Structures are given as structure tokens and as C-alpha cells.
Amino acid sequence: MAMDRDPASRNGAEAFFVLSGLHAVWWYRLNHMFWGWGWKFVARLLSQIVRWWTLIEIHPAALIGDRVFIDHGAGVVIGETSVIGDDCTLYHGVTLGGQGTVIDGRRHPTIGNGVVVGAGAIILGPVTVGDGALIGAGAVVISDVPAGRTAVGVPARLVAPKKGGRR
């Protein structure tokens, strides 16, 4: 998967040893398991160690689907009630942040399947980004993005699809 999404990876061994996004997701899977077992302190402690090591912060309670790839991951933050679908790509500096002080309930984004989130994009609050959507670099998303659409700007706005192509 990493070889498909990161053209800078020359071979599987290189991807295995040097891609911090892969390491962060692998450690998240273990920490999420600990969280589910009720070992919340251990999960949070390990997630902070991984944050120090990879510069990627993933809360152990977040729900992350299969084949999620974090490319050049420094500065990525994935909050506690975030949900990320399958086959998503997040670039460096992406924030899936909370909004509000609600203790129980959803306060972070839900990202559908096949979504690409550009570098430095911030998605705040309990918004939903539909399947196959694209979030442009530096966008600040504070409202829902329909499936297959592209959101850009601050605050993010939907861009009209190009004729004959996806946008």
C-alpha cells in the first residue's frame, strides 16, 4: 500500500523502516486495542511516546479504517472521537480536531472512504466528509463536505466539478 501511495519509497524495506506514517498507524492499532481493553493509561502513554517519535498524534480511541496512509506525517493530529474510513490519505500537518467541550459524544470529524486530505488542512468539529471527497491543502473545513466533492479555502467552500473530470 505504501509503495502505491508514496512514489519516493523505493522498496518495501525502505517503506517499512522509514515511513513515520506507517509506524504511527501500526502503533495506533496496538494502542487502540489497549484502549478497548480498558488499559487507557497505557494506551495514552504509548501514544505520547509514538507522538514524540513520529511527530504524529493519534488518540487511541479514534476509529481508523483499513489501508489509511499518512504521507510525510509530521504535525498530523487525529482527535479522540475522529472516525476515518478505508483507503484514505492524509498529508503532513492535517488536523482532525474537536470543537466544544462535550465529554460524551462526537466532537471530531468523520471521514468517509477514499478521502484525500491535503497538507495543512484542518477539519474541525463533528462534520462529515463524504466518500471520495478531496480536501485541499490549507483548507479549514467547518461544515459537511458531500461525497465526491472538493473543498478548498478558509473557510472551506465547495469547488464546482470540472466538465468531464473529477474535482
Q: What is the C-alpha to C-alpha distance for residues 97 and 86, in angstroms, rounded to an integer? A: 19
Nearest to 88 by CA among 74, 98, 78: 78
Separation in Å, CA 21 to CA 7, 29, 71, 103, 143: 14, 13, 6, 28, 27
- List Cβ neighbours of 74 (8 Å cut-off, separation of 6 or more): 20, 55, 56, 92, 93
| Residues recorded for the chain | 167
Would residue 92 show up in a list of annotated catalytic residues for this protein?
Answer: yes
Nearest to 64 by CA among 44, 40, 80, 41: 80
Catalytic entry in 23, 32, 59, 92 = 92
SS3 79: coil
Q: What is the C-alpha to C-alpha distance for residues 132 and 151, in angstroms, rounded to an integer? A: 12
- Which residues are paired to 116 by β-bridges? 89, 134
Tell me the catalytic residues. Answer: 92
